[in-house]
Amino acid sequence: MSFRLLQERRVAGELPGPRSVALAARRSAAVAAGVGSTMAVYAADADGGVVVDVDGNSFIDLGSGIAVTSVGASAPRVVAAVQEAAARFTHTCFTITPYEGYVAVAEKLAELTPGSHEKRSALFNSGAEAVENAVKIARLATGRDAIPYKKGFGPFAPEIYRMPMSYPFRDGLDGKETAERAISQIVAQVGVDSVAAVLIEPIQGEGGFVVPAEGFLPALAAWCASSGALFIADEIQSGFCRTGDWFAAEHEGLVPDIVTTAKGIAGGMPLAAVTGRAAIMDAVHPGGLGGTYAGNPVACAAGLASIETMAEWDLNAAARRIEALAVPLLREVASATGRIGDVRGRGAMLAVEFTEAGTTVPDPAAAAAVAAACHRAGVIVLTCGTYGNVVRLLPPLVIPEPLLLEGLDVLTSAVTAL
Ligand SMILES: *Cc1c(COP(=O)(O)O)cnc(C)c1O
């Protein structure tokens, strides 16, 4: 593994620098205020574990553009594949003149997603589209309407029911208990015969990187199987090596009926997929799925190149190494400062939940202060969580170890300085 850009943290003077300040002025006159940005600096270049801004500052990237650039933001294979594909054709529309790349991505998804059953895939541009289409497919395949769901994304259409997740740090319940709680609510509020599917993130993303208690997901999947409901794993954030497996569902041996993917799948190009059992997926009539750009040929080429890169560089092992390096350091700073109530996550999907000293009371101000201190020091970290009190770490899986350790050191100092 070698990189085009120097893998170092380098901040010269005040942030944002003059070029970023100038861009911010142009932005506020042209870009809608509703579009926010975590950082005040504008990107000029990115590679491996760094993002370089327009003023030449180099940031350690512990965010991967929200778990997208797992292979890096300019992985050589991805760049070459994009250039080659774009030079041939940028678009024909798969629903008009199909092409091989789309088929090859679907073949890869069948091979890599959990279970050896026959599968089919449909490709899309974004995670939200994949979730919407998974719901549509589940309804058509089951002839039922209701979807118990937990999350802030995607459809808030009728017949979407939000159910309590397992949140070991806050509910103190084991997997069996939390599954029974969720199932009894589903039965009471929806009724067994109405449930088309249960849609769940194996590790909750925006909600706070919550890892459900062991046994919660298998119990929910078993209930689905016995009730004629489909079990849909939303692997948009947790998939593609992020947690140290190709998919987070593998950790407890789950075989979902449908898997949604996006984010890390294509090295930064917009690509998403719904992959499921052949009989379920093929319940939708020809022409019932798709979209103008869905499964764009350049994005498909990037997807295939990213998957090759993940296999070639064994990025599952890399994610596990990141966990092994980071978690002891995070636990240490948690016990030294008393400001972190919970250290959790798996692989390179890790988080610390800030609480008021000696309590479990959420402390969003602490998370915001730590994130801001990291940003000022040249480290990109993101926050998340229902209470906004979680700092999450999603480094590119290719990040060099010394750079990761330096980033963690900055984070640790920020927590200590609280
Ligand atoms: C990001 C995300 C989505 C939405 O994906 P977009 O590409 O932003 O539409 C859906 N589900 C999960 C778990 C996500 O992390």
Q: Report the residue among 151, 236, 274 best suited for mutation to probe ligand 1: largest number of ligand atoms under 8 A from its CB.
A: 236
**Is the separation of the CB atoms in 258 and 138 below 8 Å?**
yes
Task: Specify whether 183 is located in the same domain as 297.
Answer: yes
Report the pLDDT value the prediction gives residue 157, as an integer from 0 to 100: 64
Using pLDDT thresholds of 50, 70 and 90, give the confidence band for residue 149. Answer: confident
Given the CA of residue 66, which atom of ligand 1 is nearest to it? 1
Closest atom of ligand 1 relative to the 67 alpha carbon: 15
- Position 158 scores a pLDDT of 74
Q: Give the residue-averaged pLDDT of 267-290.
A: 97
Is the pLDDT reported for residue 34 higher than 50?
yes
State the pLDDT at residue 39.
Answer: 96
Asked if the structure places residue 289 within a domain, the reply is yes
Residue 139's nearest CA partner among 205, 76, 194, 68 is: 194
Query: Given ligand 1 and candidates 70, 124, 131, 243, which is best to mutate, with the most ligand atoms within 8 Å of its CB?
Result: 131
Residue appearing with tokens 């750079």:
403
pLDDT of residue 374: 98
- CA of 165 from ligand 1 middle (Å) equals 18
Structural domains in the chain (count) = 2
Q: Residues lining ligand 1, CB < 6 A? A: 126-128, 131, 153, 201, 205, 234, 236-237, 262-263
Sign of the Cα pseudo-torsion (183, 185, 188, 191, in order): negative
Q: How many helices (H) and strands (E) does the chain have?
A: 13, 15
Q: How far is the CA of 123 from the centre of ligand 1 (A)?
A: 14
Confidence at residue 150, expressed as pLDDT on a 0 to 100 scale: 60
Q: Which of 280, 312, 344 is the last residue of a domain?
A: 312
Among 135, 242, 259, 263, name the best residue to mutate to test ligand 1's pocket (greatest count of ligand atoms within 8 A of Cβ). Answer: 263
The verdict on residue 6 lying in a domain is no
Number of the ligand 1 atom closest to the C-alpha atom of 201: 13
- Residue 240, pLDDT above cutoff 80: yes
* Same-domain check for residues 385 and 308: no
Q: What is the mean pLDDT of residues 99-119?
A: 98
> CA 262 to CA 68: how far, in whole Å?
8
Both 285 and 333 in one domain: the answer is no
304 and 209 assigned to the same domain: yes
User: Given a cut of 80, is residue 154 above it in pLDDT?
Assistant: no
Across the range 250-262, mean pLDDT stands at 98
Q: Check pLDDT > 90 for residue 287.
A: yes
Which of 295, 312, 329 is the last residue before a domain boundary?
A: 312
Rounded to the nearest angstrom, the distance between the alpha carbon of 131 and the centre of ligand 1 is 8
Token pair, residue 101, equals: 């790349």
Joined tokens for residue 10: 């380098």
67 Cα to the center of ligand 1, angstroms: 10
Atom 8, ligand 1: residue with shortest CA distance: 127
**Closest approach atom of ligand 1 to CA 153:** 10
Q: Same structural domain for residues 242 and 98?
A: yes
Q: Average pLDDT in the 198-210 region?
A: 96
Kindly report, residue by residue over 53-89, the tens digit of the pLDDT: 999 999 999 999 999 999 999 999 999 999 999 999 9
Q: How confident is the model at residue 1 (pLDDT cuts 50, 70, 90)?
A: confident
Measured between alpha carbons, how far is 111 from 105 in angstroms, rounded to an integer? 10
| Region 290-303 average pLDDT | 98
- 199 with 130, same domain: the answer is yes
CATH of the domain at 135: 3.40.640.10
pTM, two decimal places: 0.97
CA-closest candidate to residue 341, choices 237, 151, 210, 251:
210
User: What CATH number is given to the structural domain containing 33?
Assistant: 3.90.1150.10
Q: Which atom of ligand 1 is nearest to the CA of 238?
A: 13
pLDDT at position 153 = 46
Contact 192, 152 (CB under 8 A): no
Reported as a pLDDT band with limits 50, 70 and 90, residue 148 is confident
What is the pLDDT of the chain when averaged over all its residues?
Answer: 96
Residues 272 and 148 in one domain: yes
Q: Does residue 305 share a domain with residue 205?
A: yes
> Which distant-in-sequence residues (6+ apart) come within 8 Å of 57 by Cβ?
10, 11, 12, 15, 17, 41, 378
Whose Cα sits closest to atom 6 in ligand 1? Answer: 127
Matching residue, tokens 């990025």: 315
pLDDT surpassing 50 at residue 398: yes
**Residues 119 and 218 placed together within one structural domain of the fold:** yes
Q: What are phi and psi of 256, to 5 degrees?
A: -65, 155
Which residue puts its alpha carbon closest to atom 11 of ligand 1?
Answer: 236
Per DSSP, what are the bridge partners of residue 200?
233
Task: Identify the CA nearest to 217 among candidates 176, 262, 274, 247.
Answer: 176
Task: Show which of 312, 346, 376 is a domain's final residue.
Answer: 312
Q: Is residue 10 part of a domain?
A: no
Closest residue to atom 5 of ligand 1, CA basis: 127
Q: What percent of the chain has pLDDT over 70?
A: 98
Q: Whose CA is nearest to atom 10 of ligand 1?
A: 127
| pLDDT tops 60 at residue 156 | no
Which domain does 55 fall in, by range?
A: 18-61+314-416
Q: What DSSP character marks residue 15? A: S
Bridge partner list, 146: 195
